[in-house]
Chains A and B, each alone.
Chain A
Amino acid sequence: MREVAVIGVGMSPWGELWRSSLRDLFAQAALEAMKDSGAPRIDSMVVGCMSSGLFNGQEHLGSLMADYAGLRGIPATRVESACASGGAAFRTGVLEVASGASDFVLVGGVEKMTDVSGDAATRALSAASDFEYEAYQGATFPALYAMVARAHMDRYGTTRKQLAMVAVKNHENGLLNPRAQFRQRISVDAVLGSVMVADPLRLLDCSPITDGAAAVVLCPKELAVKLKKKPLIKVAGIGQASDCIALAQRKDITRFEAAALAAQRAYKAAGIGPDEVDFAEVHDCFTIAEICVLEALGFCKTGQGGRFTEEGHTSRLGRKPINPSGGLKSKGHPVGATGVAQIVELVEQLRGSAGERQLSKVRCGLAENMGGTCGSAVVSILTREGA
């Protein structure tokens, strides 16, 4: 297998963008990534998108997006794995380059969520659960994560305040990100006083509904060297895993087994462990999710995710900065785009081009993207080559 480099990144604006269409968002991100890459051509394209069928009544995204990105004719395929669609698309693109099938591959993620009402959006998102046995019973996504939160609180003593601190920290990071959808400071009290969605989760525990797209360009490392890409950002390891999507069927509903498995595979491929990761972008669709993911990635012990957060280890200046971009909570969560945008953040941090939110001395970043209540997960590890 060939080593793979990420040579270009791009993002559309993120937010409630009534003027922008699904295809236009994608094209903006794709064109920016291609320009940034300096690639002489694009040989193939992968599109991550969760549910354009339900959000926009539009399928067949591979060809549609290739056409509007000026790439008509190339092979273009959509990849879906609920909210992990972007991460799964990235992995598919990496494998395509690594295998030698294509040299220059564009991977994009997109979701246009505000073309439907809030109710219809909730319904579309609930398609990521086991419809016949979860959504049919009245279990919404916040409800499923709320049950994870309560079980975690009951078993490990995780506090309501610790959950809130995840949102507070991610909004603090988002303040420094010009692309973030919600750039405002929030307090623990504001989280605890926000409207109840599914007890114990409140509105400010939840990531928002967002329109947006992100894209990256990949090529073999030797071609990146020829293009004089400096610093060179390499895909050091990538892992993906699945689990039963019905939360009730898990052995332990507080353990995100798919994320743990994906991480083990990524760490093994990269030849490193969690201690060597300098920072991470993780899937904080709800505050409890970030806590469970910290544990699954091995950044802290099982049950200690809340305390790890409260002690400040996950803040920008902590020993393991988590979600320097603002995460899904502040930056926004256009579901299919999220996994690709995490890669964009990793690349910008590793290049040293993250502006105000730049972390110091980072050489190894990890992205964790998951679908549903972690019925699927993708973990990617990127490193900067050379000094």
Chain B
Amino acid sequence: MNIQPQRYWREIPQRYRLEAGKCRKCGKLCFPPRRKCAACGGASWDTVQLPRKGRLLTYTVVHSSTDEFAKLVPYAVAIVDLGNGVRLTAQVVDVDPGELCAGMPVRLEFRKLGEAGKAGVICYGYKAVPA
């Protein structure tokens, strides 16, 4: 991955622990967190961890990727709906792409996403697996 360590490091709370912002005014969950609530304009937040279970809203199987993901081709990417208003984009692994379908229950796991820079610093994050 073409990504500097400090940039990677900043996103660790989201990538490792799925930390989201919960608006104190209206209760909306924002992932990634933001300063101004997209629903009510509120500006004070609690940090909460998202549940790791969800369902596929939609998906694709990528056959042509950038170089850093070329070894994984073909790989599945999906939008995962966590059922609490939060959706996120993630790869789906440990599954035959032919078995994917909208509505499929999945679990988000801590996985390796790639390697950064000449030193090959490992980049981690979440990927979905069948639940």
Contact = CB atoms under 8 A, between A and B. Distances in A.
A332 B61 CA distance: 25
A154 B63 contact: no
Interface in A257-290: none
Given A132-B11, A147-B58, A147-B59, A138 B64 contact: no
14 contacts: A119-B66, A133-B89, A136-B3, A136-B113, A142-B62, A142-B64, A143-B60, A150-B58, A151-B57, A151-B58, A196-B61, A196-B64, A198-B61, A248-B79
**Main SS class of interface, B:** strand
Interface string A358-381: 000000000000000000000000
Contact of B57 (A197, A199, A253): A253
Contacts of A200: 60
Contacts of A142: 62, 64
Nearest to A199: B61
Interface of A: 119, 122-123, 126, 132-134, 136-140, 142-143, 146-148, 150-151, 154, 195-201, 244, 246-249, 253
Contacts of B123: 136
Interface in B7-50: 11, 32, 38
A223 to B, nearest CB: 43
A247 B63 contact: no
Interface of B: 1-3, 11, 32, 38, 57-67, 69, 72, 75, 77-79, 87-91, 97, 102, 113, 123, 125
Given A134-B89, A244-B38, 17 more contacts: A119-B66, A122-B66, A123-B2, A123-B66, A136-B123, A137-B77, A137-B89, A139-B89, A142-B64, A143-B62, A146-B60, A147-B79, A195-B63, A195-B64, A198-B62, A247-B79, A247-B89
Nearest to B32: A133
A75 B57 CA distance: 48
A148 B89 CA distance: 13
B64 A140 contact: yes
Contacts, number: 95
Nearest to B7: A132
Given A132-B11, A132-B32, A143-B62, A246 B89 contact: yes
A253 B64 contact: no
A199 B98 CA distance: 11
Contacts of B91: 137-138
B69 A138 contact: yes
Contact of B62 (A140, A150, A244): A140
A140 B2 CA distance: 15
Contacts of A201: 60
Contacts of B2: 123
A220 B28 CA distance: 47
A249 B63 CA distance: 24
B90 A198 contact: no
B7 to A, nearest CB: 8
A147 B66 contact: no
A199 B125 CA distance: 24
A201 B102 CA distance: 17
A148 B102 CA distance: 12
A138 B90 CA distance: 8
A247 B77 CA distance: 13
Contacts of B75: 138
Nearest to A254: B58
B77 A253 contact: no
